Structures are given as structure tokens and as C-alpha cells.
């Protein structure tokens, strides 16, 4: 017998009424627990519970799985869901219609011939995945065709997407496609060609880019596929792949939010909660070992900024060195000069991941990252430190957010810089961008007004220097002293 549910906020609106009827259906089935329903519905208990919460319209696969598990009539509920989706402005997936037999066209053969091909391209997910419960419910129950998962470096975006694929495997049984878009040469057309090949489409049926992309969108509508576009860096890589079908799901991960994409549902991942960090360390290093040094483990999570990547690395390091104490590793992380070296295990090095993002920054953005260590993380502070305008400083801060090195501003306008990024910036040598030389004719001493012209140009150059450089600039009593 399931536990009593929280009362619905309202049963007057259509979604509330829909949820109320789902609850009534469950009640007529004997009010089984959501854990029990999950075994037959093949969705997580939290996803099924959310479907009957009345907060939003659940996706069609979740609705039909819920109804079938409770002994309802799927066809009746599907018609009702489609009517409600249209009323809510959600494009419903195409209905399957019976049609008289006819000779298949070229497109029909292309799409239907490889129906038995079910690609399984996803990489292995984490066996120690923890937390993100509400975000998973949000992702699994949204009714749109595409999902954008963003967040800073090390937030676990790919791990989250792979866990979501597991949650939705029963609802999207026709295959799983994967593409890593981090390579500079990744293009939408190239990705589609690979996907069509995995789906069994002969190359002759997709002779050019436009045909390939159109065919892929058709297959998204006719099948129930999970597509993961990992590490996207800009909208151009993704936009051509998005279609209107809600029978398949395209999941995009990236550090930037790709705000130019329209019609995508967005989930922004941040740091773990402290209990999630401690749970992960315990799963990796052993629960008893962590409980024996709980204060040190808490300090360890704090020093990692509760960043999933860093927490995972320290958990694996503790597991690999049974002679170590948790307090000993916490002491190493507390040393700013040792923290980056301490955050590595096997071929996973936090410094290298930060450094790769740092190298992709424009020189002025690198300078901004170093300035933030001392200046503070507001646009006003950065503008004063770099001698630039506030709008330009704000653009620099946003570029650092999109690179995954900062987190977005709070209500006070202060951006977030984790202790790990701060330690990386402090330990990374930085040379200020060299000034661009501008050829200017210099008058000779015999020309009238020469002293005035040279003095003005020297003062103009000084005005463009950062404040701390202007403060230390040298002064000369006479023009000839500069050559002495």
C-alpha cells in the first residue's frame, strides 16, 4: 500500500484534473506504491510520482507507462493526453495511423528498412552516481523534443545525461545515439552521417547534407530514440539536428547555455549538496572509513567546493591508498601550492581539464581570470582593475561562465569563482597581452612643438594602462632623460 500523497495544489486547471485522475486510476488499482509501479512501468518511482503531482503535464511515454501499470486503457489516455498537450501548446508526437497497403517509396524504404537496427552508442555511465533526484524528475517528465544540460567544469553533465538515458530506456527503446562535439571539426552534417550509418541507412539514400538532415529528423519522428550530443560548444553544431518530434529525445550537454537554441528545456547543474558529496566519497572509499573521519571528510568536500569531478577524484584516491587518512588528504588540499597536484587519479587530472578550458580563452579573458583573483568577481571590480568599461567587463565575465570557469552572477551581481579555479589561476603563469604597435611619426627636436607632441603621446599611453601600472609609471624631468 502506497503512502498518502500530498494534496494537489489545484484540480480546477486541466493539468491538475489530469493528475487527479491518474491518482484515481492508481487508487482503483489498489493504490500500489510507486516503487512497485516502477517495476512494471520501467520508470523511476520519482518520475511516476511527479507525473501525478499536477505540477506539469508528464510526457506521453511516462503517462502511458503509468496507465498500463495501473491497468488503465492506454488508447483512451493517449487521446486525452494529446488533447491536453495541444491545449497547453506542446506539440504532440505523431499518431500512428493505419493506411491501406501501397508500394513503398524511396523514403519509406530508407526509413523502414533498418527497423531492426537498434544502435547502442552511449559510453558507460557511472556506477556510483548520486543525487540530482529533482533534476532527473524534471528531465524525465518534460514533454519537449530537446533538453539542454549546462553547468561549470566538473558538474557531472555527461554522467547526468547517461543516468537519464537509463531512466528512459524503456520509453525510448529504438536505440541510443552518441556524438562528442568537443572536437573543433564537429559539424551537424558529419554527426548526422554517422547517426544514419548507425541506424542502417545506406549512404546512397542520403546523397547530400540537406537530405541527410531531413531524413534524420524523419527518423526521430518515426522512432523512439535517445540522442546525446555531448560537449557542445555552440548552437551551429546542434540546431540542424533538432526536430519537432516528441517521440524521441535529444539531450545536449555543454558548459555554455547555448541561449540561441529555441524550444529546448533547460537544466543547469551546479555543485553537489554536502550530503551528496559525502555519499559519493563513502561509496568510493568505503562508508566505514568515511564515518570514522566524518569531520575530515566534510572538510575534504568543502575544499573540493562540492564539485562532483573533484569529489570523485578524492574519493578514488582514498580508495586506492588504504594507508592514507582522510585528514591527511584534506591537509594536502588545504595547501594552495599542492591542491592541483592532489586532484589527480589515473589519467584524470583536474588541472589538465581546467588548463584545456583556459587555453581556449581569448588573451583578454585569460587576463580577466587572473584579475578576478584579487579584484573581486563583479563587473564593476573587474572594470576598475582592467581599466575598461563595465559593459566590456560584464561580457568578459559571461565568457568565463560559458567556458565553465565561473558560475553565474547572484542577485548582487557577484559571479562565483570556486576555490579550485582560484587555486588554478594563482598557480598558472600569465603574461599580459602585448600592446599592438601603432606606427606614429615622431617629430625631431628641431620641429616646433616637438616637446608638447611627445608629452601628449606619453600621457595618452599612460592613460590606457591599468591603474596599478599607471601608479608605478616612471616620470622624467626632461624629454632627453628618457634616452639617458
Going from N- to C-terminal start, the domains of the chain cover 14-88, 133-268, 274-346, 357-427, 450-483
When pLDDT is cut at 50, 70 and 90, the band that residue 41 belongs to is confident
- The torsion defined by the Cα of 57, 62, 68 and 70, in degrees rounded to 10, comes to -70
Q: Residue 91: what pLDDT?
A: 60
For 57, counting Cβ atoms within 10 Å of its Cβ (0-12 exposed, 13-18 middle, 19+ buried), the class is: buried
Is the pLDDT confidence value at 70 over 90?
no
Q: Mean pLDDT, to the nearest integer, of 332-354?
A: 87
Q: What's the mean per-residue pLDDT of the chain?
A: 81
In 186-307, alpha helices (H): 188-198, 209-222, 274-285, 287-292, 294-303
When pLDDT is cut at 50, 70 and 90, the band that residue 306 belongs to is very high
When pLDDT is cut at 50, 70 and 90, the band that residue 9 belongs to is low
Q: Which residue has the higher pLDDT, 100 or 38?
A: 38
Of these ranges, 5-19, 205-219, 265-279, 466-480, the one predicted with the greatest mean pLDDT is 265-279
* Under 8 Å between Cβ of 248 and 199: no
Least confident of 262-266, 316-320, 332-336: 332-336
Is the pLDDT confidence value at 196 over 60?
yes
- With a CB cutoff of 8 Å and minimum separation 6, the contacts of 442 are 454
When pLDDT is cut at 50, 70 and 90, the band that residue 40 belongs to is confident
Q: Residue 110: what pLDDT?
A: 44
d(Cα 411, Cα 101) in Å, to the nearest integer? 62
The beta strands (E) that lie in 12-115 are given as none
Q: Residue 280: what pLDDT?
A: 94
d(Cα 297, Cα 277) in Å, to the nearest integer? 9
Is the pLDDT confidence value at 364 over 90?
yes
Tens-digit pLDDT profile for residues 397-416? 999 999 999 998 787 888 98
Q: Residue 154: what pLDDT?
A: 92
Q: Mean pLDDT, to the nearest integer, of 76-105?
A: 66
- With a CB cutoff of 8 Å and minimum separation 6, the contacts of 205 are 106, 109, 110, 211, 215
Going from the C-alpha of 244 to that of each of 98, 216, 221, the distances in angstroms are: 22, 12, 8
The cell numbers describing 304, all together, are 573540493
CATH entry 3.40.50.700 includes domain 133-268: no
When pLDDT is cut at 50, 70 and 90, the band that residue 74 belongs to is confident
Question: For the domain bounded by 14-88, which CATH number is listed?
Answer: 1.10.260
The cell numbers describing 388, all together, are 575598461
d(Cα 88, Cα 92) in Å, to the nearest integer? 10
Tens-digit pLDDT profile for residues 438-480? 455 555 545 554 454 444 444 444 444 454 444 444 444 444 4
* Under 8 Å between Cβ of 271 and 305: yes
Is the pLDDT confidence value at 76 over 60?
yes
Closest CA to 76 of 22, 135, 114: 22
- Ramachandran angles phi, psi of 3, nearest 5°: -70, 155
When pLDDT is cut at 50, 70 and 90, the band that residue 238 belongs to is very high
Q: Class assignment of domain 357-427? A: mainly alpha
Is the pLDDT confidence value at 186 over 90?
no
* Under 8 Å between Cβ of 13 and 88: no
Q: Residue 187: what pLDDT?
A: 83
Tell me whether domains 14-88 and 133-268 share a fold: no
Closest CA to 480 of 448, 452, 445: 445
Amino acid at each position: 500500500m502506497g503512502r498518502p500523497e500530498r494534496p494537489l495544489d489545484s484540480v480546477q486547471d486541466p493539468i491538475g484534473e489530469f493528475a487527479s485522475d491518474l491518482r484515481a486510476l492508481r487508487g482503483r488499482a489498489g493504490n500500489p506504491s510507486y516503487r512497485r509501479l516502477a517495476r512494471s512501468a520501467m520508470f523511476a518511482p520519482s518520475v511516476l510520482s511527479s507525473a501525478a503531482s499536477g505540477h506539469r503535464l508528464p510526457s506521453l511515454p511516462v503517462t502511458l507507462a503509468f496507465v498500463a501499470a495501473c491497468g488503465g486503457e492506454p488508447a483512451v489516455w493517449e487521446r486525452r493526453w494529446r488533447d491536453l498537450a495541444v491545449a497547453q501548446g506542446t506539440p504532440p508526437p505523431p499518431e500512428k495511423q493505419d493506411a491501406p497497403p501501397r508500394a513503398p517509396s524511396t523514403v519509406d524504404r530508407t526509413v523502414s528498412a533498418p527497423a531492426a537496427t537498434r544502435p547502442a552508442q552511449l559510453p558507460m555511465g557511472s556506477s556510483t552516481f548520486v543525487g540530482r533526484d529533482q533534476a532527473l524528475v524534471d528531465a524525465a517528465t518534460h514533454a519537449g523534443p530537446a533538453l539542454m544540460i549546462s553547468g561549470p567544469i566538473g558538474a557531472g553533465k555527461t554522467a547526468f545525461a547517461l543516468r537519464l538515458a537509463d531512466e528512459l530506456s524503456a520509453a525510448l527503446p529504438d536505440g541510443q545515439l552518441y556524438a562528442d562535439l568537443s572536437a573543433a571539426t564537429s559539424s551537424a552534417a558529419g554527426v548526422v552521417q554517422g547517426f544514419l550509418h548507425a541506424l542502417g541507412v545506406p549512404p546512397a539514400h542520403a546523397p547530400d547534407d540537406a537530405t541527410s538532415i531531413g531524413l534524420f529528423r524523419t527518423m526521430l519522428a518515426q522512432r523512439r530514440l535517445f540522442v546525446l550530443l555531448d560537449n557542445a560548444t555552440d548552437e551551429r553544431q546542434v540546431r540542424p539536428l533538432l526536430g519537432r518530434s516528441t517521440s524521441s529525445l535529444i539531450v545536449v550537454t555543454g558548459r555554455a547555455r547555448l541561449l540561441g537554441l529555441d524550444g529546448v528545456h533547460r537544466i543547469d547543474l551546479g555543485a553537489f549538496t554536502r550530503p551528496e558529496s559525502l555519499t559519493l566519497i563513502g561509496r568510493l572509499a568505503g562508508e566505514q572509513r568515511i564515518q570514522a573521519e566524518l569531520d575530515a571528510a566534510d572538510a575534504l568536500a568543502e575544499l573540493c567546493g562540492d564539485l562532483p569531478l573533484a569529489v570523485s577524484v578524492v574519493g578514488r584516491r582514498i580508495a586506492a591508498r588504504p594507508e592514507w587518512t582522510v585528514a591527511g588528504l584534506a591537509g594536502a588540499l588545504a595547501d594552495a601550492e599542492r591542491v592541483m597536484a592532489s586532484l589527480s587519479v589515473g589519467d584524470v587530472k583536474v588541472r589538465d581539464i581546467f588548463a584545456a578550458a583556459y587555453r581556449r580563452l581569448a588573451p583578454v579573458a585569460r587576463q580577466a581570470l587572473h584579475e578576478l583573483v584579487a579584484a573581486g568577481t563583479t563587473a564593476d571590480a573587474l572594470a576598475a582593475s582592467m581599466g575598461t568599461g563595465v559593459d566590456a567587463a560584464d561580457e568578459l565575465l559571461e565568457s568565463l561562465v560559458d567556458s565553465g570557469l565561473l558560475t553565474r552572477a547572484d542577485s548582487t551581481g557577484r559571479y562565483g569563482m570556486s576555490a579550485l579555479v582560484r587555486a588554478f589561476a594563482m598557480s598558472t603563469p600569465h603574461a599580459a597581452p602585448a600592446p599592438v604597435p601603432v606606427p606614429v611619426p615622431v617629430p625631431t627636436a628641431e620641429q616646433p612643438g616637438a616637446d608638447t607632441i611627445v608629452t601628449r603621446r606619453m600621457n595618452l599611453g599612460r592613460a590606457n594602462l591599468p591603474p596599478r601600472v599607471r601608479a608605478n609609471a616612471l616620470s622624467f624631468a626632461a624629454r632627453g632623460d628618457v634616452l639617458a
